[in-house]
Chain A
Amino acid sequence: MAKRRLVLTFPPKLVEEPITYRLIKDYDLVVNILRAKISPEEEGRLMIELSGEKSALKRGMDYLNGLNVNIQSLARDIRWLEEKCTHCTVCVPLCPTEAIVVDRNSMKISFNKDKCIACGACIPACPYKAIEILF
């Protein structure tokens, strides 16, 4: 089983294409939608986790590429600005996936991008604007 977290950006002409249906039905992938948004210009953004056989995942990705969907790794859309972080820990209980954790010896936080679903719960809580999401 392979797993990838992606941010898909698709142009207005693809808004009516049932992409998730195809990924499930035609490519046998498990699709978990983490977040979805259609901007005022009707550009769609879909934050998605795909998992399945390695070969199926590759074929699914080829399908998306063929549609001219812009694909980027989810991790690139979230930034923890360590130099701004004071390690106060106030964001920690707000994170639903334990992507932000505290080492109880050093009392410092660390951020695991792979666990982050970019829900944004930590963003308003940070007193120092040390986390950014570009979604």
Chain B
Amino acid sequence: MAKTIAEINEKIKKGKVVVVTAEEIIDLVEKKGIEKAARQIDIVTSATFGPMCSSGAYFNTGHSKPKIKLGGGKTYLNEVPVYTGLAAVDFFLGAAALPDNDSRNRVHPGEFRYGGGHVIEDLVTGKDVKLVASAYGTDCYPRKNLETWINIKDFNEAVLFNPRNAYQNYNVAVNLSNKVIYTYMGILQPRLGNANYCSAGQLSPLFNDPYYKTIGIGTRIFLGGGIGYIAWQGTQHNPNVPRTKGGVPRSGAGTIAVIGDLKKMSPEWLRGTTLRGYGVNLTVGIGLPIPILNEEILQYTAVRDEEIYTQIIDYSDAYPKGKSDSLAEVNYGELKSGKITIQGKEVPTASLSSYAKARKIAGILKNWIKKGEFFLTEPVELLPSVDSGVMFKPLRERKIR
């Protein structure tokens, strides 16, 4: 029995919609079976809350008197440089940006206490931030310097725009060397001292619609505590990787680019993030509703941690050298138990992505839908799937003479 998104929205309007989270659906399908569950359930909510480097926001400050052209000059928010190669008072702040005077990794491992992600968190908290700019001056934009406090309310637009979020699966990072290494997957102790992963597994959005059959451009989502939309496939979107029989990718695969009004987001779901010896980042809360259009879609959403596999990669050698050698394959049920066995050694596991927070987001989105505050959208175009030929290629260097 197939349903349409329009029919589901009609049920939301009437207060008759049946929504469960991607965790709750697992037991429900076990008890009722696919056919019955697909008839009863209209929407499954999925979610994730993890560090997502490829995040940022763009802003329009409004014009000062006299006017200044930030483009071609230098502009800082709380000493963090923003990208000004746009119109006079538009700029983009990247989550990984660092103050010019940050000592970075000169004394290794660098502390990276503050950067772009933290500025975004401060802004959504409602804190004033320091805007400092210098420009070259033109006949129409004569001013050369600007220094002012600015609040998120003062910007004409403040828009979160993340080119890559919600990775469908990710490596488990370990360290085979004899010294501690500091990575974007956390601090890795020598000789397989720990194994870090970063996914909400069975709750994670793209694991619940592995072939992107309901997800596409224009899909409305929970983003950073507010409303957002999928803008495009994310960078490095890579649908053509080996998959399980159930269609779940066995390594990093699909991604989404997302956009939404930063002014309506909350610091609980956008957190400035520090990774010692690596840099700064933004941890982003994303919730994605999956319309149960038919039994096939429902079957996908019932996926459980034990059916989702990923690869264990050595970050002391294989990863930095761009070799994709996997030490072993492991599932998220094993990862979440707290220990796995690699090369005969018991290794404690830890996650960078918060399962507890992902669970909370899936619950919030479920409530928004139940209360009739959140309606589904029909995607304008689905994300490229396995038949698209889209591939994530390495950089081929060519000599410049």
Contacts and interface: CB of A to CB of B under 8 A. Distances in A.
A90 B186 contact: yes
Interface string A66-110: 000000000000000000001111111110000000101011100
Given A86-B49, A86-B271, A107 B359 contact: yes
B276 A125 contact: yes
Interface in A93-135: 93-94, 102, 104, 106-108, 124-129
A86 B354 contact: yes
B351 A104 contact: no
B114 to A, nearest CB: 10
B319 to A, nearest CB: 18
Interface stretch (B12-20, B61-69, B75-83, B187-195): B187-195
From A88, A92, A104, residue with most partner B Cβ within 10 Å: A88
Contacts of A94: 187, 189, 194
B51 A127 contact: yes
A104 B275 contact: no
A104 B336 contact: yes
A135 to B, nearest CB: 18
Interface string B113-155: 1000000000000000000000000000000000000000000
Interface string B313-351: 000000000000000000000001110000000001111
B357 A90 contact: no
Interface residues of B, number: 33
B352 interface: yes
A93 B349 contact: yes
Contacts of A104: 336-338
B273 interface: yes
Contact of A127 (B273, B337, B356, B359): B273
Question: Interface residue tally of chain A, by bracket?
Answer: 20 to 34
Contacts of B357: 86-87
B186 A125 contact: yes
Contact of B352 (A90, A102, A108): A90
A88 B189 contact: no
A127 B273 CA distance: 5
B351 A127 contact: no
B353 interface: yes
B94 to A, nearest CB: 17
A90 B196 contact: yes
Q: Which of B187, B193, B194, B348 is packed against the most chain A CB atoms within 10 Å?
A: B187
B276 A87 contact: no
A102 B336 CA distance: 10
Nearest to B359: A107
B165 interface: no
A87 B349 contact: no
B353 A88 contact: yes
B356 to A, nearest CB: 4
Contacts of A91: 350
Given A102-B338, A104-B338, A124 B352 contact: no
Contacts of A128: 271, 273-274, 283
A90 B276 contact: no
A93 B194 contact: yes
B207 interface: no
Nearest to A124: B276
B196 A87 contact: no
6 contacts: A86-B354, A89-B354, A92-B338, A125-B276, A127-B352, A128-B273
Given A86-B354, A125-B187, A128-B273, 19 more contacts: A86-B271, A86-B356, A87-B357, A88-B50, A88-B351, A90-B350, A94-B194, A107-B336, A107-B359, A124-B109, A124-B187, A124-B276, A125-B186, A125-B276, A127-B51, A127-B274, A127-B283, A127-B352, A128-B283
4 nearest A-B pairs in the assembled complex, by CB-CB distance: A93-B348, A93-B194, A107-B355, A87-B356
